[in-house]
């Protein structure tokens, strides 16, 4: 079409698609934006483009798992660290102390390890009530004790008002990986079963429901809990679990996409089998979110040989943290790196990773 946007011309009165255009802007790629912390594609890009190259001289590289496994004097130790900036620091179903300890225990558990020792470090904003700090610390200690882990070292820093938001927590942990156990994101095989330990989306929706400017009433609580007991029970019936992962930031879809990419396999999910609680679905509907992108803090995904799926599932069902476990799909050789789901009209849809930011400071 002839452009009708030149000065002095009459405005266009028809939409003639030929020749209409829109701008090519310059997107921000010079600074960190909140989406880089989302656990989705931007987080992966940050790792790929900025962090991994800068770390190359000191890093062994390899597959990214929830924790590293290092060999020291013949022992295989799982080692992980994580920082917690959740807002608010106390939320329905938990607080930042319990969340930090459970998160680190779970990262170790996803390597098949039982937690041996944990560190707990605080960055505290001046003005935080001491009683609040005491309660959160007691809650961290209780979570560790419940999971059979010890908090053996720590640190405290205080910054001026505004330099942090109330309380930031860092935890690190080590644990011993048993012989014959080696779950890793690159070990999913075609034919394996995809098991999910229970209902998804609870943590993310619980945080959103109390977030300033977004408050809504919903009768659910964060699922924050330690999963090392569940993992031990699963490994007891099948030591060769191929992959374990806790779908935290970025949700189930990010965890499954990362596994599919690392293992160069595809996955096909069974939509009706996905355990999505009613309140999570309702909240996601009105906020325009995909439940598969919402964070969890007490769930795991296990990729297990099909032959042992039933036995693993039975072991999970025997424990409260695995009571809602279900097979949600299978690993396929087709479309490597891609996770798909069947739609209600029988078409196949790709389950993509979260792009950008859903809600910052969810954990």
For residue 208, state whether it binds another protein (rule: CB under 8 A).
no
Answer whether the bond into residue 257 is a cis peptide, omega within 30°.
no
Which of 143, 328 has the CB closer to another protein? 328
In the shown chain, the binding pattern of residues 308 to 337 toward another protein, with x for contact by CB under 8 A and - for none, equals: --------------------------xxxx
Which of 150, 281 has the CB closer to another protein? 281
Q: Which stretch binds another protein (CB under 8 A): 68-76, 165-173, 227-235, 347-355?
A: 347-355
Residue 35 neighbours by CB under 8 Å, 6+ apart: 42, 355, 356, 357
- Do 111 and 63 meet the contact criterion of CB atoms below 8 Å apart? no
For residue 29, state whether it binds another protein (rule: CB under 8 A).
yes
Site size toward another protein, by CB under 8 A: 74
* Pairing of β 167-176 and β 150-159: unpaired
The token pair at 105 is 């225990």
Torsion of CA 211, 199, 78, 36, to 10 degrees: -40
Q: How far apart are the first and last CA of the chain?
A: 52
Bridge partners of 123, per DSSP, are 157, 168
Which of 194, 338 has the CB closer to another protein? 338
For residue 31, state whether it binds another protein (rule: CB under 8 A).
yes
Q: Which of 280, 256, 265, 210 is nearest to 40 (CA)?
A: 256
What gap in Å lies between CA 261 and CA 185, rounded to an integer?
A: 9
The DSSP letter of residue 293 is G
**Binds another protein (CB under 8 A): choice among 67, 108, 226, 261:** 261
Site for another protein in 142-181 (CB under 8 A): none
Q: How far is the CB of 35 from another protein (least distance, A)?
A: 7
For residue 282, state whether it binds another protein (rule: CB under 8 A).
yes
Q: How far is the CB of 272 from another protein (least distance, A)?
A: 9
Q: Which stretch binds another protein (CB under 8 A): 101-109, 131-139, 233-241, 256-264?
A: 256-264
For residue 119, state whether it binds another protein (rule: CB under 8 A).
no
């Amino acid at each position: 079409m002839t452009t009708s946007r030149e000065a002095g011309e009459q405005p266009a009165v028809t939409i003639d698609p030929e020749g209409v255009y829109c701008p090519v802007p310059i997107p921000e790629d010079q600074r960190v934006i909140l989406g880089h912390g989302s656990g989705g594609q931007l987080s992966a890009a940050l790792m790929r483009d900025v962090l991994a190259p800068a770390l190359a001289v000191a890093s062994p590289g390899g597959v990214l798992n929830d924790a590293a496994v290092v060999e020291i004097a013949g022992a295989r130790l799982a080692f992980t660290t994580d920082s917690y900036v959740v807002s608010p620091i106390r939320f329905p179903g938990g607080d930042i102390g319990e969340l930090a300890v459970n998160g680190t225990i779970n990262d170790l558990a996803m390597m098949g390890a039982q937690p041996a020792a944990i560190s707990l470090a605080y960055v505290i904003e001046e003005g935080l009530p001491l009683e609040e700090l005491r309660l959160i610390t007691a809650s961290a200690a209780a979570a560790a004790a419940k999971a059979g882990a010890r908090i053996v070292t720590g640190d405290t820093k205080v910054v001026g008002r505004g330099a942090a938001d109330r309380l930031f927590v860092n935890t690190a942990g080590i644990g011993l990986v048993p012989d014959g156990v080696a779950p890793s994101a690159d070990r999913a095989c075609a034919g394996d079963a995809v098991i999910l330990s229970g209902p998804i989306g609870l943590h993310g929706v619980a945080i959103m429901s109390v977030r300033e400017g977004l408050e809504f009433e919903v009768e659910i609580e964060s699922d924050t809990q330690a999963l090392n007991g569940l993992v031990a029970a699963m490994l007891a019936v099948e030591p060769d679990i191929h992959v374990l992962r806790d779908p935290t930031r970025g949700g189930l879809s990010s965890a499954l996409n990362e596994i599919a990419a690392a293992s160069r396999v595809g996955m096909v999910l069974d939509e009706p089998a996905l355990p999505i609680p009613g309140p999570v679905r309702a909240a996601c509907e009105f906020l325009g979110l995909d439940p598969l992108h919402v964070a969890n803090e007490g769930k795991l995904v296990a990729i297990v040989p099909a032959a042992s799926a039933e036995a693993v599932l039975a072991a999970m069902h025997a424990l409260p943290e695995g009571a809602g476990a279900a097979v949600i799909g299978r690993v396929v050789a087709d479309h490597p790196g891609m996770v798909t789901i069947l739609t209600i009209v029988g078409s196949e849809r790709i389950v993509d990773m979260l792009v950008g930011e859903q809600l910052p400071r969810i954990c």
